Amino acid sequence: MQDFDSLALKLQPHYSKFNVANRLLFTGHSHQAWPDAAFEGIQEYMAMVSEQVDKKWDFGFEKTEIMREYLREFYDDPTGRYCREQNTHVLIVSWLSALDLKNKPKIITTTGEFHSMFRQLRQLEDEGLDIVYLPHQDDDQLFEAISNELDENTSAIMLSRIYYETAEANTRLSDIAQLAKRAEVPILVDDYHGTNVVPISFQVEGLEHIYLLVGGYKYLQWGEANCFLRYPQECALRPVITGWFSAFEQLDHPRDNEPVKFDQGNQKFATATYDPISQFRAAAVTQFFQKMGLTPEVLKNQYQSQLSYLRKLFDDQNHIGSGISHANTRPVEESGGFMALRSEHARTLRAELLKNNIFTDARNDIIRIGPGPYTTSKQCEAVIQALFDKLNTI
């Protein structure tokens, strides 16, 4: 028994529909199991909408607010605004549309960003923007490079807190954020792999001015269609790509020739109509986490303990000439919630494991192994043994 087994065994009965106790689910960094409470949330929605019909929206908004409050507490961020949307790409596009890209066509980013950001920036580069891709492997060098690149043509800095391929944490994020603040350049931070894994205090770190992307698909266990753009309370940006849900409170106002108006609340970067069933599912999961005492500190300790054990199991079996090694050698305190291993056979290993219903995933030459809070030491042992069994047959 390892120290994380106690919580894992306590949680497993609450994930009976995903059968987590009897399956090797190690895509926790990509798609975690949902607790049974999620299905109860869906049933709650069906009952509510049958009764309320078109009056359902206020009930959906109440569920969204439960999620917002959870995020404010996780980030120690009482003044932050949190705009809900279907996915982070929609939010990225809305946010980009608010920048002065005509007069300041330069965006500074890194080589380690997820497809949602990279693909859009790459297309904008083809349309004439100056996109600067800086190496992300060394945090100190990245800080210096950003400092050198910042100029009067820079409209934004866009980067991650935890890199999606390797789980390496950007340890100079606060310094980079302060650099951006002094230069009066907006900074957008992708925290899809940080939320619910690596706590951070916006008040302590002085991050109240940043923009932050949050996704519910992974560690939050909220499932699809529950993403947020966190923005400062005093945000002056005006998105050009804008939907009517960003002015929901003004629908009955007469139209005029004045500039487009935005509500003062949390939906400045919103688009339009969506399916609120996802909010009922996610709010139920949020309340389940709170009921089970899954605080930021508890979750951090769980993931770090699991990651440490997975690394030990891997190191104990690995040997010179195996063709597989750590893609992330940073301490667990400077890492996210999964183990990243580099091998030319990464995709083959992932496919072979899946044939035995063992869920991992691969990105290029990296296979990623991510537990959930419900993952036990025996399951960690089983996945590492299976990994080497498959490796020996390739």
Enumerate domains of the chain plus CATH numbers: 5-33+295-391 (3.90.1150.10), 39-288 (3.40.640.10)
Task: Give the 3-state DSSP-derived string for the chain, with helices as H, strands as E and coil as C.
Answer: CCCCHHHHHHHHHHHCCCCHHHCEECECCCCCCCCHHHHHHHHHHHHHHHHHHHHHHHHHHHHHHHHHHHHHHHCCCCCCEEEEECCHHHHHHHHHCCCCCCCCCEEEEECCCCHHHHHHHHHHHHCCCEEEEECCCCHHHHHHHHHHHCCCCEEEEEEECECCCCCEECCCHHHHHHHHHHHCCCEEEECCCCCCCCCCCHHHHCCCCCEEEEECCCCCCCCCCCEEEEECCCCCCCCCCCCHHHHHHHCCCCCCCCCCCCCCCCCCCCCCCCCCHHHHHHHHHHHHHHHCCCCHHHHHHHHHHHHHHHHHHHHHHCCCCCCEEECCCCCHHHECCCEEEEECCHHHHHHHHHHCCEECEEECCEEEEECCCCCCHHHHHHHHHHHHHHHCCC
How high is the pLDDT of residue 252?
A: 67
pLDDT tens digits for the chain (394 residues)? 899 999 999 999 999 999 999 999 999 999 999 999 999 999 999 999 999 999 999 999 999 999 999 999 999 999 999 999 999 999 999 999 999 999 999 999 999 999 999 999 999 999 999 999 999 999 999 999 999 999 999 999 999 999 999 999 999 999 999 999 999 999 999 999 999 999 999 999 999 999 999 999 999 999 999 999 999 999 999 999 998 788 777 766 777 787 888 888 899 999 999 899 999 999 999 999 999 999 999 999 999 999 999 999 999 999 999 999 999 999 999 999 999 999 999 999 999 999 999 999 999 999 999 999 999 999 999 999 999 999 999 8
